[in-house]
Amino acid sequence: MPLRVSFDDFPTLGKKVNGKRLVYLDNAATTLKPKPVLEKMVDFYIGSYSNVHRAVHTLASRATVAYEEARMKVAKFLNADPSEVIFTSGATMGINLVVNSLLRSGILREGDVVLLSQAEHHANLVPWIRLSKFHGFGIAYIEVNEKGVLTEEAILRGKEYKPKIVSVTGHSNVTGQVIPLEFVREVFEDAILVVDGAQLVPHKRLDVKDLGLDFLVFSGHKMLGPTGVGVLYGRKDLLEVMEPFLYGGEMIDKVSFEEVTFNEIPYKFEAGTQNIAGVVGLGYALDYLEALGFDSLEEHVRDLTEYLIEELSKLEFVELYGPLDHSHVSIVSFNVEGIHPHDVAHVLDQEFGVAVRSGHHCAQPLVRALARGTKLSNFPNSTVRASVYLYNTKEDVDVMVEGLKKLKGWFG
Amino acid sequence: MIYSDAIMDYAKLRKYRGKIENAHRIEEGKNVSCGDEITLYLVFDGDRVAEVKFEGQGCAISQASTNVMIEVVTGKTKEEVIEIAKNAENMVLGREFEAGLLGPVLLFQEVGKYPMRVKCFLLPWKTLQIALER
Ligand SMILES: Cc1ncc(COP(=O)(O)O)c(C=O)c1O
């Protein structure tokens, strides 16, 4: 079924930037927010807002019900149990929680090996790297090829490290590659599998049980939801034996001056007052996406990605990165020969109203790895990145491509 | 548009590119958020900045800014250079500054309108300041 997006729901797209129609192609950084989601959040704030799980008054009970409804929606979306859904501030916090709690519970120990990939966002690199310095576990990498792609052969080679934990992205925010998670699970049968779903989840309905994921993290703001809220899915038996990450109110059972026992899952991982309206808003965003249909969304984004790659490939002065095949979804990184990505992005914005990202996309090692395959005379250690989502059209791609042609002419 | 012909010409200038083998000071500067990097090589003659070259890469703004900076500071005393650097920063941050000190640095005045690009302009200046204050 074709995707039926109401553009009235995204008034931002009707605004002009620099006198031009806004062409928003920075969805991998964050998505626009549908007006109905925002309106429902306002209604919630006005009519049902209070702190959750604590007081007995009417507003408190409405807020608690709304908050727990959001948890139920997420659980259903992932095919998880609600007790396995922990609300966080985002993907970054989710990874930090997993690493710290695994260490504190002795599940990850000195001498163990954690296998990451070279395609990771800093959020799935830095917590592991830093904590390995204090706790003496080892880190190994699945290597990317010269296009920044993780091949099945490379994934298989990771086996030789006998990792206890495998933590990989589900969808690279630089190359746009969707990682074959079924294959990863198959290869590392006994490892604890952590998936960074920050880019994948906004595009695909995942079944965590079917895929055999042990942990999955993602952020609400990349899937039409508000900022400051995200989800950690964790397998129940693991969560139950894991030490909490943050300590404080709500996550406790009994507290004396000497001892503390913890609340049950998921509450033991939700210390302090949560981002209540954010959680509720994420639930609304999920409703919105489900109403559109994930299958239609996926098809729309795949078609657009294909078109984007096709059109960019026609420009002989553009170098493209990533797999450029069926596994390439939404995100396309490229460079314009002789023009630095910041200059490309600046001119696209100022002269054509096109919002794209330029830089290293919080994945410095991966972007540096792209230098191995470059044919540019001077690889800038950064790229331009265009990323499409449900409200983008072929016309958006055309505006950018025309912009690139003109810009190449101006800069020479 | 900030990409005036004059700025583009400075961006492409080759004259100040390269290493100085026996430099008195070598300073690396980086914009962590975007990955731009430069290395400045400085030669002093007493209290004067006698020669400067640079290596590295970045956007047209940071490259042009580096070339203009080198042109402007060469032959000046360290004290004068620090004064110019402060005024260059004030200019781009929209504060009061002394235009008479800046010469071709004034080409970049418009960069101040683009908060995301200010750091591109400032990269060489910040790097130079650190080199001189060490
Ligand atoms: C692949 C990937 N992982 C993690 C993150 C971090 O997400 P957040 O900044 O929302 O915590 C991002 C966001 O840029 C991402 O693209």
Average pLDDT on A278-283 reads 98
Q: What's the pLDDT score for residue A56? A: 87
**pLDDT band (50, 70, 90) for residue A54:** confident
pLDDT at A122: 96
Crossing angle of the two packed helices A276-292 and A58-78, in degrees rounded to 10: 40
* pLDDT of amino acid A288: 98
Q: What is the pLDDT of residue B48?
A: 96
Question: Residues near B23 by Cβ (< 8 Å), separated by ≥ 6?
Answer: B41, B42, B43, B53
The answer, yes or no, to whether any atom of ligand 1 lies below 6 A from the CB of A123, is yes
Residue with tokens 């992005």: A345
Identical fold between A7-31+293-411 and A37-291: no
Model pTM? 0.94
CB A246 within 8 A of CB A271: yes
Render pLDDT for B49-107 as a digit per residue (tens, 0 to 9). 999 999 998 899 999 999 999 999 999 999 999 999 999 999 999 999 999 999 999 99
In angstroms, the CA A61 to CA A210 distance is 34
Q: Would you say the CB of residue A121 lies under 6 angstroms from ligand 1? A: yes
Kindly report which listed range (A228-232, A248-252, B92-96, B128-132) carries the lowest average pLDDT score. A248-252
List of residues 6+ apart from B115 with CB closer than 8 A:
none
Collapsed DSSP state (helix, strand, coil) of residue B26: strand
Ligand 1 atom nearest residue A230's Cα: 10
Residue-range domain boundaries for chain A = 7-31+293-411, 37-291
pLDDT, average across residues A232-257: 95
- What is the 8-class DSSP label of residue A387? E
- Is the pLDDT at A207 greater than 90? The verdict is yes
Q: Is A183 a catalytic residue?
A: no
Task: Judge whether residue B35 has pLDDT over 80.
Answer: no
Rounded mean pLDDT, A167-189:
98
* pLDDT attached to residue B57: 85
Terminal Cα-to-Cα distance of chain A (whole angstroms): 44
Q: Which of A122, A342, A344 is the best residue to mutate to test the B interface, defined by the most B CB atoms within 10 Å of its own CB? A: A342
- The pLDDT of residue A296 is 97
Fold of A37-291: Aspartate Aminotransferase; domain 2 (3.40.640)
pLDDT, residue A53, reads 83
Mean pLDDT of B98-122: 94
**Which H or E element spans position B39?**
strand B36-45
First to last CA, chain B: 36
Return the best residue to mutate from A95, A175, A199 for the ligand 1 pocket (most ligand atoms within 8 A of CB).
A199
Chain A interface test: which of B1, B2, B3 (most A C-beta within 10 Å): B3
CB of A91 closer than 6 A to ligand 1?
yes
**Separation of alpha carbons A222 and B82, rounded Å:** 44
Is residue B32 very low, low, confident or very high in pLDDT (cuts 50, 70, 90)?
Answer: confident
* Chain B residue closest in CA terms to A362: B33
Report, as an integer, the average pLDDT of A381-407.
97
pLDDT of residue B51: 97
Q: Can you give the pLDDT at residue B47?
A: 94
Cis amide leading into A244 (omega within 30): no
**Taking residues A168-177, what's their average pLDDT?**
98
pLDDT at A115: 98
- Residue of A340, A353, A136, A223 lying closest to B35 (CA atoms): A340
Region A5-21: mean pLDDT is 94
Q: At what angle do helices B115-133 and B78-92 cross, to 10 degrees?
A: 170
CB contact under 8 A, B117 and A340: no
What pLDDT, on the 0 to 100 scale, is given for residue A411? 87
What is chain B's mean pLDDT, rounded? 94
Q: Which CATH number is associated with domain A7-31+293-411?
A: 3.90.1150.10
Range B5-133: architecture per CATH: Alpha-Beta Complex (3.90)
Of A96, A224, A362, A364, the one to substitute when testing ligand 1's pocket (max ligand atoms within 8 A of C-beta) is A362
Q: Which of helix, strand or coil describes residue A357? A: strand
Nearest CA in chain B to A378: B57
Residue type, A192: I
Instruction: Quote the strand ranges of A275-338, DSSP E.
Output: 318-320, 331-336
Closest residue by Cα to residue A91 from A8, A9, A26, A169:
A169
pLDDT, residue A108, reads 98
Given a cut of 90, is residue A228 above it in pLDDT?
yes
Distance from CA of A409 to the nearest CA of B (A): 13
Among chain B, residues having any CB pair with chain A shorter than 8 Å are 1-3, 8, 33-37, 57-61, 114, 117, 120
Q: pLDDT averaged over chain A?
A: 96
How far apart, in whole angstroms, are the C-alpha atoms of residue A367 and residue A376? 14
pLDDT digits (tens, 9 = 90+) for A107-123: 999 999 999 999 999 99
Q: Domain extents for chain B?
A: 5-133
Residue range A31-45, pLDDT digits in tens: 999 999 999 999 999
Burial label, A86 (beta-carbon count in 10 A; 0-12, 13-18, 19+):
buried
Cβ–Cβ < 8 Å for B106, B91: yes
DSSP B47-114: TEEEEEEEEEE--HHHHHHHHHHHHHHTT-BHHHHHHHHHHHHHHHTT----GGGTGGGGGGGGGGG-
